[in-house]
Structure 1
Amino acid sequence: MIRTKGVKTTQKTITFQVSTRCCNQIIDIPNVTKEQVQLYKKGAHVQVAFPHVKASVREVLISGTCEDCWNKLFGTDCE
Protein backbone atom coordinates (compact mmCIF):
# COMPACT_ATOMS: atom_id res chain seq x y z
CA MET A 1 0.00 0.00 0.00
CA ILE A 2 1.19 3.50 -0.76
CA ARG A 3 1.86 5.41 2.44
CA THR A 4 0.79 8.99 2.46
CA LYS A 5 3.34 11.07 4.31
CA GLY A 6 1.32 14.18 4.85
CA VAL A 7 -0.57 17.03 3.44
CA LYS A 8 0.80 20.56 3.24
CA THR A 9 -1.94 23.16 3.14
CA THR A 10 -1.83 26.24 0.94
CA GLN A 11 -4.83 28.46 0.23
CA LYS A 12 -7.36 26.45 -1.79
CA THR A 13 -5.17 23.57 -2.85
CA ILE A 14 -2.84 21.27 -1.00
CA THR A 15 0.33 19.34 -1.71
CA PHE A 16 -0.31 15.64 -1.21
CA GLN A 17 2.79 13.59 -0.38
CA VAL A 18 3.37 9.90 -1.02
CA SER A 19 6.41 7.70 -0.60
CA THR A 20 7.61 5.34 -3.30
CA ARG A 21 8.11 1.62 -2.78
CA CYS A 22 11.13 1.44 -5.05
CA CYS A 23 13.46 3.96 -3.42
CA ASN A 24 11.47 5.41 -0.48
CA GLN A 25 11.51 8.83 -2.10
CA ILE A 26 8.85 11.33 -1.04
CA ILE A 27 6.91 12.62 -4.04
CA ASP A 28 4.89 15.84 -3.81
CA ILE A 29 1.64 16.03 -5.73
CA PRO A 30 0.94 19.78 -5.73
CA ASN A 31 -2.17 21.76 -6.53
CA VAL A 32 -4.82 19.23 -5.58
CA THR A 33 -7.92 19.88 -3.56
CA LYS A 34 -8.85 18.15 -0.34
CA GLU A 35 -11.89 16.82 -2.19
CA GLN A 36 -9.65 15.17 -4.81
CA VAL A 37 -7.59 13.49 -2.08
CA GLN A 38 -10.76 12.26 -0.36
CA LEU A 39 -12.10 10.96 -3.67
CA TYR A 40 -8.85 9.04 -4.24
CA LYS A 41 -8.79 7.63 -0.70
CA LYS A 42 -12.39 6.43 -1.16
CA GLY A 43 -11.27 4.33 -4.14
CA ALA A 44 -11.65 6.52 -7.22
CA HIS A 45 -9.28 5.74 -10.06
CA VAL A 46 -6.23 7.97 -9.92
CA GLN A 47 -6.99 9.32 -13.41
CA VAL A 48 -10.42 10.44 -12.20
CA ALA A 49 -9.24 11.92 -8.90
CA PHE A 50 -6.17 13.68 -10.32
CA PRO A 51 -6.70 14.23 -14.07
CA HIS A 52 -4.30 17.19 -14.20
CA VAL A 53 -1.36 15.34 -12.64
CA LYS A 54 1.41 13.97 -14.91
CA ALA A 55 1.12 10.28 -15.73
CA SER A 56 4.51 9.54 -14.16
CA VAL A 57 3.34 11.03 -10.86
CA ARG A 58 0.03 9.16 -11.02
CA GLU A 59 2.07 5.97 -11.48
CA VAL A 60 3.54 6.50 -8.01
CA LEU A 61 0.00 6.36 -6.63
CA ILE A 62 -0.82 3.26 -8.67
CA SER A 63 2.29 1.12 -8.23
CA GLY A 64 4.59 2.99 -5.87
CA THR A 65 7.20 3.27 -8.62
CA CYS A 66 8.79 6.64 -9.37
CA GLU A 67 9.80 7.65 -12.90
CA ASP A 68 13.53 7.05 -12.31
CA CYS A 69 12.99 3.54 -10.94
CA TRP A 70 10.47 2.77 -13.71
CA ASN A 71 13.13 3.69 -16.30
CA LYS A 72 15.72 1.51 -14.52
CA LEU A 73 13.33 -1.43 -14.43
CA PHE A 74 11.76 -1.16 -17.87
CA GLY A 75 13.78 1.35 -19.86
CA THR A 76 12.54 4.48 -21.55
CA ASP A 77 11.67 2.99 -24.96
CA CYS A 78 7.99 2.14 -25.33
CA GLU A 79 8.58 -0.44 -28.06
Structure 2
Amino acid sequence: MEYLNFKLVISSVLYSVLGIIILMLSFFIIDKLTPGTLWKEIIVEHNVALAIMGAAFMIAVALIISSAIHG
Protein backbone atom coordinates (compact mmCIF):
# COMPACT_ATOMS: atom_id res chain seq x y z
CA MET A 1 0.00 0.00 0.00
CA GLU A 2 2.91 2.37 0.32
CA TYR A 3 3.29 2.39 -3.47
CA LEU A 4 -0.27 3.65 -3.93
CA ASN A 5 -0.54 7.24 -2.77
CA PHE A 6 -4.24 8.12 -2.62
CA LYS A 7 -3.51 11.84 -2.62
CA LEU A 8 -1.84 11.51 -6.04
CA VAL A 9 -4.64 9.34 -7.42
CA ILE A 10 -7.33 11.79 -6.29
CA SER A 11 -5.43 14.77 -7.70
CA SER A 12 -4.94 12.98 -11.03
CA VAL A 13 -8.65 12.20 -11.29
CA LEU A 14 -9.56 15.76 -10.28
CA TYR A 15 -7.23 17.29 -12.88
CA SER A 16 -8.52 14.90 -15.55
CA VAL A 17 -12.13 15.85 -14.86
CA LEU A 18 -11.21 19.53 -14.80
CA GLY A 19 -9.41 19.20 -18.13
CA ILE A 20 -12.39 17.45 -19.73
CA ILE A 21 -14.77 20.14 -18.45
CA ILE A 22 -12.54 22.90 -19.84
CA LEU A 23 -12.29 21.07 -23.17
CA MET A 24 -16.08 20.71 -23.44
CA LEU A 25 -16.59 24.33 -22.44
CA SER A 26 -14.14 25.54 -25.09
CA PHE A 27 -15.82 23.39 -27.75
CA PHE A 28 -19.19 24.88 -26.73
CA ILE A 29 -17.75 28.40 -27.08
CA ILE A 30 -16.33 27.63 -30.53
CA ASP A 31 -19.67 26.10 -31.52
CA LYS A 32 -21.45 29.33 -30.56
CA LEU A 33 -18.89 31.57 -32.34
CA THR A 34 -19.10 29.76 -35.67
CA PRO A 35 -22.08 30.12 -37.99
CA GLY A 36 -24.43 27.14 -37.91
CA THR A 37 -24.17 24.16 -35.61
CA LEU A 38 -20.94 22.19 -35.75
CA TRP A 39 -22.52 18.95 -34.59
CA LYS A 40 -25.28 19.13 -37.21
CA GLU A 41 -22.80 19.97 -39.97
CA ILE A 42 -20.55 17.06 -39.03
CA ILE A 43 -23.20 14.40 -38.40
CA VAL A 44 -26.05 15.30 -40.77
CA GLU A 45 -24.23 17.06 -43.60
CA HIS A 46 -21.10 14.82 -43.39
CA ASN A 47 -18.74 17.78 -43.58
CA VAL A 48 -15.32 16.08 -43.31
CA ALA A 49 -13.35 19.33 -43.40
CA LEU A 50 -15.27 20.67 -40.42
CA ALA A 51 -14.75 17.39 -38.56
CA ILE A 52 -11.00 17.64 -39.14
CA MET A 53 -11.04 21.26 -37.96
CA GLY A 54 -12.95 20.25 -34.81
CA ALA A 55 -10.52 17.41 -34.11
CA ALA A 56 -7.52 19.69 -34.58
CA PHE A 57 -9.10 22.25 -32.25
CA MET A 58 -9.73 19.62 -29.56
CA ILE A 59 -6.17 18.28 -29.82
CA ALA A 60 -4.75 21.80 -29.57
CA VAL A 61 -6.85 22.68 -26.52
CA ALA A 62 -6.04 19.33 -24.91
CA LEU A 63 -2.32 19.98 -25.35
CA ILE A 64 -2.67 23.43 -23.79
CA ILE A 65 -4.66 22.06 -20.84
CA SER A 66 -2.24 19.19 -20.24
CA SER A 67 0.78 21.48 -20.29
CA ALA A 68 -0.95 23.89 -17.91
CA ILE A 69 -1.75 21.06 -15.49
CA HIS A 70 1.75 19.60 -15.56
CA GLY A 71 3.31 23.01 -15.11
Return the TM-score normalized by structure 1.
Answer: 0.30
Structure richer in helix, relative to its length = 2
The structure carrying a bigger strand percent of its residues is 1
| Higher RCO structure, 1 or 2 (CA under 8 Å, sep 6+) | 2
Using structure 2 for the length normalisation, give the TM-score. Answer: 0.32
